[in-house]
Amino acid sequence: MVARLTHGVTDAVREFLKGVRKGSVVSGIVGAVHDFGVFVHLDGEPDSEDPIGFVRIPEISRRHFDELGEVIATGDRVRGEVLDVDEQRGQVSVSLKAVQPDPFVPLAGRAGEVVRGPVTKIFGELGVFVRVADGAEALVPRAELRGEVREGDEMAVEIAEVDLVRRRVSASRVAVVNRFLTSLTKGAVVEVTVASIHNFGVFVHLGGEPGPGPSGLVRIPEVAWPPVAHPSEVLSVGQRVRAVVVHVDHEREQVSLSIAQARDSRG
């Protein structure tokens, strides 16, 4: 429990606290936001410079946030469940999270669904966590990942299992990758976006790819016709162009493409 900002508890505050019960729902206005928690002026509390309600950081929101300002600010009207009443200190511990919708419940009916979200945490050999709903993250096993994965990377995954008791979600990337690669046929013309340029060719993003990182590679001989010494002579990062699917490598999860053939096909 965090101590109130002034010493002593008035009779009016004690009387107010007698009417507050653990488990009840209270409302109020955020009076101050600190890095250790949030103070709230509860509805009906005696006039005072010091708010009676206090919300610890873990009890503020089910949403993932990096900065408190993303989810709460001074002056916001909030409601929460009373966790504890400390009459000695004149303070009520409140959980805003307790009255917010549980994101795991609707996820339980979405097994097999493909969702896209950012990588939020990386845990060595265990794998990575991907945000699959506001307030819920799913673990993708390391064995299913290819190449470098960084926090913030967007990744498409299939929800595999939702454990409501342990509040855990597991997800698979393999099924999503397989469906994506199977959808590409040799000779098909696709729209791609140049992701990076190198001496040997360019990596490109294809629409609908699972991520993270580009799935397409255009080698230098396939960049242009007549050939160029370096891809940067005709391409730039972010440029959208057409390309022909030359080969789909399921094992390496990579698609070989030709921009030169696509341009030639237009005559």
Q: Is there a single domain that holds both residue 112 and residue 92?
A: no
43: amino acid identity, one letter: D
Q: Is there a single domain that holds both residue 130 and residue 204?
A: no
Lowest mean pLDDT segment, chosen from 15-29, 184-198, 201-215 = 201-215
Cα atoms found within 13 Å of the Cα of residue 111, Cβ hemisphere only: 11
Let me know if residue 110 belongs to a domain: yes
Q: Which residues pair with 207 in a beta bridge?
A: none
Q: What is the pLDDT of residues 227-237, one digit of tens each?
A: 999 999 999 99
Q: Is there a single domain that holds both residue 113 and residue 157?
A: yes
Match 């709460």 to its residue by tokens.
72
Pairing between β-strand 216-219 and β-strand 201-206 as defined by DSSP bridges: antiparallel
Q: Is there a single domain that holds both residue 62 and residue 111?
A: no
Q: Is there a single domain that holds both residue 91 and residue 153?
A: no
Res 124: pLDDT: 83
Q: Is there a single domain that holds both residue 82 and residue 144?
A: no
Q: What is the pLDDT of residues 89-143, one digit of tens each?
A: 899 999 999 999 988 888 888 889 999 999 999 988 899 999 998 889 999 999 9
Last residue of a domain, one of 149, 177, 205: 177
Percent of the chain with pLDDT over 90: 67
Tell me the residue range of the domain where 139 lies: 104-177
pTM (two decimals)? 0.69
Q: Is there a single domain that holds both residue 119 and residue 86?
A: no
Number of domains composing the chain: 3
Kindly report the number of other CB atoms within 10 A of residue 102's CB atom.
15
Let me know if residue 78 belongs to a domain: yes
Let me know if residue 2 belongs to a domain: no
Lowest mean pLDDT segment, chosen from 2-11, 117-126, 127-136, 149-158 = 2-11
